Structure 1
Amino acid sequence: MIQVNKSPISFLGLIIWLIAALFFLYEFFLRTFIGTVAHQIIPGLHLTPESFALIGSAYYIAYAIMQIPVGVLADKFGVKLIMIFAVLVCAVATWLFAQSTGFGFAFFSRFLMGFGSSFAFICLLVIAVTWFPRRYFGFFAGTSQFIGTMGPLLAGGPLVFFLSKTHGNWRLVLSLIASFGVLLALLILFIVRNKPRGGEQALIYLKRPQGLSQSLKLLFKNSQMWYIAFYSACVYASIVVLGAIWGTDYLEARGLTQRLAADMVSLAWFGFAVACPLLGAFSDIARRRKPTLIFCSLLGLLSTAIITYVPIHEHWIYGFLFFLIGMAASGQNIGFAIISEHSSLTTRASGLGLNNAMIILLGAIVPPLISLFIDVSHGAHLTASDFIIGFSFLPALSVISFFIAAFLIKETYGKPQREPIVLKTG
């Protein structure tokens, strides 16, 4: 039996979704805070720049490894139990990190932090699928990503403010952040439900339900899953390269100051935050996913090609182009919507996990690959021409994503494609 909620959007559903979104924001904060406290952590733990980078990467290693297992666990046990466990793991890991005295313990606690955080986004998407009508999934998935981007913002200026108020006592600040995780776990315990209780109807399956292992085999054999996941990864890769790694250095090589370059790069994330709910809502209303996927690919191709090959003398144009790069990256949000519609009931969370895993995997591969082609023979004094060959990968990835969206991904018209055939008995 499955449950059907008669009311389109319930107040309780919104509250549950907001709590899950708060967990996603918390996870995103934990993902990014380490850069803000680097000046305190490196001497406090007696780290070298290399060992500090390894501690930072520990989070992503655990996060990437867990994406498919997270989907399987969410499908099997439901989101409430999984979220309570995951938030408590994050809280404990943050507290352990605050008690660290050296590299080994810090690396372990950071890895544990990534393990707990890996549950946040998939559980949030499962809640959106379960509690809201499918036609609104693109909007809620996009708004979820908008809320999540508040995490890095809080890990910036506000965290610096609290550090200054505690005279740089990062251990105390992280301990307080850990206690917030415990409070969040209590909210989940007392409020979150796996499924709506109201409006239940008994349903008789006309197709025999499949076991989990058989469903996963069918999931991995479904070419649409791989096409969508690879599209999402390709369309998102540019914001990873330009928004998180090389964007500031590149704009400095183009003549911008470090402060102005950083401001221009931040517009990429602003564009991403704005476009995710807007384009998600558009695809929901239009009942078409593919036009938005294609639009994001073409937008990414245009913006990355201009940034890479065209000398620009007006600073505001760079800001506009980086904003467009963020908009293009929001195509991965539509990827989550369409992959949920191509998944069966028993593998929906696993399909979402596959999409997220591919995004993270390509996001980890592309930046170092591009870095190999960036001429670093000038040391710290890079010129714009040093980036051209490496950055040529970015429009190429946009072309690949366009080809996948236009010719390989099948339109769902905003409807699930693999639901069981059922008869209502009530």
Structure 2
Amino acid sequence: MNSEVQQRRLAATPRGVGVMCDFYAVRAENATLWDHQGREYTDFTAGIAVLNTGHRHPKLVEAVRSQLECFTHTAFQVIPYENYLLLAERLNKLVPVAGPAKTTFFSTGAEAVENAVKIARAATGRPGVIAFTGAFHGRTLMTMSLTGKVAPYKTGFGPFPGSVFHARYPNELHGYSVDDAMESLETLFRCDISPQEVAAIIFEPIQGEGGFNIAPAGFVSQLRQLCDQHGILLIADEIQTGFARTGRLFASDYYPDAKPDLITMAKSLGGGLPISAVSGRAEVMDAPLPGGLGGTYAGNPLAIASSLAVLEVIEEERLCERALRLGAELVETLNGSGNPALVEVRARGSMVAAEFNDPASGKPSAEIAKAIQQKALAQGLILLTCGVHGNVIRFLYPLTIPDAQFKKALALLSELLRD
């Protein structure tokens, strides 16, 4: 059955939509998926960090069902609804920005990033935006221009919007220190764009597609100081890091003395329904004129209902604490594997990555990471790779995964790494 459907996919959809698995999901529950043939898989991808609360959490299902019985859509800009306001009010109290906050909703992470750029430009009257090497911010033209990885995201899609520049993201393993990163920003200011023309610097507290590279505290602190010095707004892209994944509600909570001006979020905010948001300092968020922000499906009522339930589940089931415990168990398993190709394990809570180099050459090895991924998949464990070199395995299991299932997956992973 799966092979038959696979042929239909190849005939009906373009090759530009890359698909990892050759089976098709028919049912899912928490951290488990089943395909057409009844085979069972443990999901360590969570829809690329979308399902921190798992597949079909009962509380989310009930919240969406209740909303479905009321209405599915009005377009908030035409006929508003109170749940939109309730979610905004809750996020305004939770986001780690300085002072009073405001929030607006969209449908995708890329939309959130684009609108954060719009807000920053409106607030500062400046055009420039600085992002970082290894960044991933989306697949639209603006967000592709911000993304710091060419293949496959940028190949054949240029030219891209102007006034976008890239600085170095610190990565000690690959020889880039915090000082190197800050010097690259100063180089941009000397050679490419005056700091007085820069509206915003956007960064990921932990790079997602870039390989789960964690921003050192000193780097974030210096970014904040640099932005304050030049009147630049600091945007934290928390689309992959948000909603308990790192052991805090937001990864920015780890940098209390360097709060961003704007935060983008999506993915696990909706628990599987499409919704994104931009939160930020109230005076910054109010910069665009009425009608300058929005979208037909922005803040869809069903997704809003699911998001409110997500926040309740995170609190009630103590998912931040659980993320820390599960992440520590995974790190112990990885570090204890003795795999000679494993050169670094990076973790903040349950945002965990393992990077692999060829033991003979010492160079990044996408082949080793891919081989481990494929062997795991053959035994029912779904993993994702990432990194500029494609040599990193990232772990994004639902934070609600049952303990017994998690331990079984770790045992399999340990066996694969030893082999």
What is the TM-score when the length of structure 2 is the normalising length? 0.27
> Which of structures 1 and 2 has the larger relative contact order (alpha carbons within 8 angstroms, sep 6+)?
1
Structure with greater proportional helix content = 1
What is the TM-score when the length of structure 1 is the normalising length? 0.27
Structure with greater proportional strand content = 2
